[in-house]
Amino acid sequence: MVSLVVQRPCLVVPKRRGQEARILLSELNLLDNRMRVLTDSEKIFWPLVREISDDERLMLQDRLGDFELVYAKIESRNKRPKSILEELEEKLTPSQLAAIPHSFDIVGDIAVLEIPDELFDQRFLVGEAVLRVHKNIKVVLAKAGKIDGVARIRRFTHLAGENRTTTLHRENNCVFRVDLASAYFSPRLVTEHARVAHQVAPREVVVDLFAGVGPFSIQIAKKVDALVYAIDINKTAVDLLKLNIHLNKVDGRVIPILGDARKIVEERLFSKADRVIMNLPGSAESFIDVACRAIKAGGGIIHYYQFSSSPEAMDEAVNTLEKGVEANSRKVNKILECKKVRPSAPHEWQIVVDAKIR
């Protein structure tokens, strides 16, 4: 932000009378709050909005005793604009202003924007405005594609601030090193991560089939004395997961495993779990057999996630899970909960089903 240096009339008083002078100047609407205050070792220079009148001079003399009036070079305060709209109101047309997103994701010190087509040419200006309004934001990125591929990541365009996609994100008393360009992470799952973590009882064995950088696994191990096997197929996600296990001091309670969940369960985790987390909503259905194999012979709980745009989204998710479980010679004993987690696209929801399996 550029600050202006201008000549302003100033009232100069000894420092010991500084606050008295400030209060009086405020009462008389003479203090220029847009400008910085100057001081030297003995005196304080209060910037004024204008020259003072003879009556005002008399009143000041009466209340303050000696003072000086001088012209001094004063710098303007770098006042932060209150909103992105305020920051851009003179730079964009009314229809462009109307297209500014009302909200955006914040991951650590990174803001992630969805730039509408109408604002594409102004995207860097919008990015700079976000930086100026939000002092904790150091990086502004724009989504540049859909979440895609096995690793469930998307591309980003850098708009403003430092050019990086890594940051440290705090969530529910845990801290996560994330790299948005290389491993999945969504701040929109904050409540869901906590909801699942709250259900886990001491000494449970949990298998997090699609663990990412570890938000479910680590929050569980941080809350309760459980053992969590955290699997992911993306090497960068598992490298970050290992770092996060260490950062959150849950070493030994979360076991990071790089690989395909299907293969890992077959080789190492058959009939080991009291609880299985299946947060791969685009294709969890094709892993219901894997979850059934991981759950102990005596039964356990599955947290099953699915996307749905159907008006009967919740019934649809329950049916899919029940059928999948039965096809694997097990049974859903009870649906503990079924609800919408968050909107995942226009007219589409991420649904969770918590089910007791035997």
Ligand X SMILES: C[S@@+](CC[C@H](N)C(=O)[O-])C[C@H]1O[C@@H](n2cnc3c(N)ncnc32)[C@H](O)[C@@H]1O
| Binding residues for ligand X (CB under 6 A) | 150-152, 184-185, 189, 210-212, 215-216, 231-234, 237, 260-261, 279-280
Q: In what order do the strands lie in the sheet with 43-47?
A: 38-39, 43-47, 5-14, 68-75
Comparison of 192 and 204: residue with beta carbon closer to ligand X = 192
Amino acid code (one letter) for 65: G
With respect to ligand X, which residue has the nearer C-beta, 35 or 280?
280
Rounded distance, CA 211 to CA 81, Å?
A: 40
| Exposed e or buried b per residue across 40-49, where buried means at least 16 C-beta atoms within 10 angstroms of its C-beta | eeebbbbbbb
> Is the distance from CB of 299 to CB of 356 less than 8 angstroms?
yes
Neighbour-count burial of 106, counting CB atoms closer than 10 A to its CB (0-12 exposed, 13-18 middle, 19+ buried): middle
CA distance 107 to 129: 18
In Å, the largest CA–CA distance within the chain is 96
Minimum CB distance to ligand X, residue 160 (Å):
26
Nearer to ligand X, 56 or 179 (CB): 179
- For residue 145, the 8-state DSSP code is S
Using CA atoms, how far residue 84 sits from 103, 131, 179, 184, 188, in Å, is 11, 9, 26, 28, 22
For 317, the enclosing helix (H) or strand (E) is helix 313-326
| Shortest reach from residue 234's CB to ligand X, in Å | 4
Q: Shortest gap between Cβ of 308 and ligand X (angstroms)?
A: 15
Nearer to ligand X, 75 or 179 (CB): 179
Q: How far is the CB of 184 from ligand X (least distance, A)?
A: 4
Residue 215 Cβ vs ligand X, minimum distance, rounded to whole Å: 5
Return the number of the residue (83 or 173) whose C-beta is nearest ligand X. 173
> In the complex, what is the shortest distance from the CB of residue 281 to ligand X, in angstroms, rounded to a whole number?
7
Residue sitting closest to ligand X (CB) = 212
Nearer to ligand X, 204 or 232 (CB): 232
